[in-house]
Amino acid sequence: MKRLTISHVLSALIAGCLLPFAFSPHGIWPLAIVCPAVLLHVWLKQNARQAFISGWLFGLGFFAVGVWWVFISIHEFGNTNAVLAFLLTALFVIFLGFWFGVQGVLFHWLNRSRLALWFVLLFPASWLFFAWLFEWVLTGFPWLQLGTSQVASPLAGYLPLFGVLGTSGIVALCSALLVSIIESQITLKTRITSLFLFIIIFALGGLCRTISWSGQLPGKPMNFALVQGNIAQSLRWDPNHVDAILAKYRRISTPYFKHNTLVVWPENALPIPASYAGGYLYQLHTLAKDHQTTLMTGMPVAHQEDYYNGLLMLGQHTGYYFKRHLVPFGEYLPYDNYLRGLINFFNIPMSNFVPGPANPAPLTVGNLVIAPLICYEIAYSSLLRTDLPSADIILVISDDAWFGDSAAASQQIEISRAQAIASARPLLAASNNGITAVISPKGEITQRAPRFKTAILTGTLTGYRGATPWVAWGNSPVMLFIVIVFIASLFTRRKRKNA
């Protein structure tokens, strides 16, 4: 009978705690291969119950270190006392970690093949399945996907082929190959073969990085200005500071209307509903139009009895976009009738938004089509793909001041880099206090404003056209791989059971 040893438990927990360091701002991307390999090595020596415990501990460590910053928004800006904020954060982390435990059970249950290295395929298939679930279960939380950690590694070459999800599977495949290389019970010939495949995967990834999947549009580049207002979160929703905030954005932006085709303000730059700021918006519209400039600003928008987290276009070109994927407990409150008023966190400002239409009208500036996303929508690959390949540029506006000086903003800009590579599109990111940046279709940050300072990034940008394989196929190849491996595992499990 297999026993749950302290070494197995500690190995899984420590590996989970180290995995977030594979992501920005640390960027130690090899950990994204090594840490899951440690978990797999432990699972191969355990039964289903033990695999569940080890997987859950791995997940606890991973999310406790990786997304602890939700505590900041609950405690500091949700006006919730530290103990209760800690408990709510702990519940969130425990729930997320639970799914790694379930993955361990599924992996153990399906890993019954007589083929010694079947786990090399089953492990990435199971990882992919649960990574896919993280985009959908209870509105989803596809944060810290393994694929996003590889923007600086040769494996980033697989992003245009398979997207963030598929690249996460490639990383997990490398983890499984690493286990087969170091596992002493596997024959030397098989270990050498695994090493060869490991090297080939990296070599092909590096080769794919050199491919240009899209091409620049002809014509004059667009001049742009990204405005980082750096408004303290404690002041943003204070009615006594609204006039000062509106005045600041107009004051620092007006000089840039003269020389730029596009001026962008971040998410909820204007902290009042558009219907309450009619005169101010009309003045901005007139000013921008006089200079043949388009202003894009984030702000709440009221329509009938509903409120949207919106992006408005004023000036030379007009239009709007309403955020489609809202943050639960941040932008809307599930079970509102029961939870509203229960604790201060459930009463944070503007937590009664409704989602925008699933298929919004495209936004255009001149001859360029822009794919707009608000804040953590950039993590939802399927959402971005609905705007491709027609979009020439990706625009992300955000307000990461909710999470203080934590890793949240760095993690988000890394996700943006991964999506830029996957779609082969340039990306503009405008944030309240950072990270405001310009990202090339290769995922390189070409310009970046300092955090926690009022700053304006200016430059020129050309749109790109073309469809990467991921844009054309989506996650279909990934889902096909999962189905084939799972069906084959079920078949071999039944065959072995009947033998």
* Catalytic site positions: 267, 323, 375
- The whole-angstrom separation of Cα 126 and Cα 136 is 16
CB atoms within 10 A of CB 440: 18
How distant, in Å, are the alpha carbons of 208, 259, 389 from that of 30? 19, 44, 32
Half-sphere CA count of 53, side-chain side, radius 13 A: 14
CA-CA-CA-CA torsion sign (248, 250, 254, 259): positive
Tokens of 432: 């309240």
Please state the separation of Cα 307 from the chain's center in Å: 24
Length of the chain: 499
Beta-ladder partners of 302:
307
CA distances from 482 to 121, 303, 486 (A): 9, 43, 6
Tell me the torsion sign for CA atoms 59, 135, 68, 351.
negative
- Which one-letter DSSP state was computed for residue 74? I
Q: Token pair for residue 473?
A: 């196929």
Cα three-residue angle 136-380-88, rounded to 5 degrees: 60
Look up residue 384 and give its two tokens.
Answer: 């971005």
Q: Count CB atoms within 10 A of the CB of residue 324.
A: 19
Please enumerate in sequence order all residues whose Cβ is within 8 A of that of 355, keeping only pairs 6 or more positions apart, or say none: 322, 323, 324, 325, 326
83 CB-contact burial (10 Å; exposed 0-12 / middle 13-18 / buried 19+): exposed
Cα 88 from Cα 29, distance rounded (Å): 30
Whole-number Å distance between alpha carbons of 378 and 249: 25
Q: Which residues of 408-427 are buried (b: 16+ CB within 10 A; e: fewer)?
A: bbbbbbbbbbbbbbbbbbbb
CA dist list (Å): 381 to 120, 138, 349, 446: 26, 17, 28, 23
